[in-house]
Amino acid sequence: MKFFIDTASIDSIKEAKDFGILDGVTTNPSLMAKEGITGDENVKAHYAKICDIVDGDVSAEVISTDFEGIIKEGKALAQIAPNIVVKVPMIKDGVKAIRWFTDNGIRTNCTLVFSAGQAILAAKAGATYLSPFIGRVDDTNWDGISLIAEIAEVYAIQGYDTEILAASIRNSRHIVQSAKAGADIVTCPLSAIMGLLKHPLTDIGLAKFLADHKKANS
């Protein structure tokens, strides 16, 4: 399972890369706004900066919701760097645009996915990646991880190539559960990735090893 980081923060992207586990980046308009990146040219320049740092794929999301607008924006985003993937919402014009991008050699990430039915549509349109939002499903008192499992089962039965990119990850446990449920990729905040390191017995064990070594060598 690949690890993407879900942020537009250059510092976080650099930290994840430095840690040695970074396979790609996803962003969305909220994350860009959080970093204070506004205006078309600044947004494109920011994506270029991210693509310079990251070897893997970088999802850049369109703002348009009509077919022509999505195509125009997506084409411009795809020109920024070869590792840009155009992120398109799961709406009627979005699915139509994904089909167009697929037919024209532009890779896509279908976002805002909340059902297996939507996942089938995105795969039929040829989406490269599919982003089901685990945390937001959990927020509605449903089970985000079972959505990943259902989509993984359908994709395996049907032999779809679209990769399942588990998104809206809120904690480290979601990462483990996504791996078990069949996600190809998780995209998460750096804190959820770093949380995987934590276990009290590791800390206790290391303290004892170091103490025993010190005693034996003093």
Residues with a catalytic annotation lie at 87
Tokens 């990943």 appear where?
148
Stretch that binds ligand E4P, among 38-46, 73-81, 116-124, 127-135 (CB under 6 A): 127-135
Q: What share of the chain is helix, strand, coil (3-state, %, to 5)?
A: 55, 20, 30
Contact between 162 and ligand E4P (CB under 6 A)? no
Contact between 111 and ligand E4P (CB under 6 A)? yes
Collapse the DSSP code of 165 into the 3-class scheme (helix H, G, I; strand E, B; otherwise coil) and give the result.
Answer: strand
Contact between 28 and ligand E4P (CB under 6 A)? yes
Contact between 108 and ligand E4P (CB under 6 A)? no
Contact between 29 and ligand E4P (CB under 6 A)? no
Q: Which positions from 1 to 20 touch ligand E4P by CB under 6 A, shown as an x/- string?
A: -----x--------------
Q: Which is nearer to ligand E4P, 123 or 137 (CB)?
A: 137
- What CA–CA distance (Å, rounded) separates 99 from 124? 8
CA distances from 58 to 4, 129, 209, 213 (A): 9, 11, 41, 45
In sequence order, which residues have a C-beta less than 8 Å from that of residue 175 and are 6 or more positions away?
169, 186, 188, 192, 193, 196
Q: Which is nearer to ligand E4P, 30 or 211 (CB)?
A: 30
- What CA–CA distance (Å, rounded) separates 105 from 102? 5
Q: Which is nearer to ligand E4P, 139 or 212 (CB)?
A: 139
Using CB under 6 A, pick the residue from 35, 81, 136, 179 that binds ligand E4P. 136
Q: Which is nearer to ligand E4P, 158 or 191 (CB)?
A: 191
Collapse the DSSP code of 106 into the 3-class scheme (helix H, G, I; strand E, B; otherwise coil) and give the result.
Answer: coil
Which residues of this protein are in contact with ligand E4P, per CB under 6 A?
A: 6, 26, 28, 111, 131, 133, 135-136, 167-168, 187
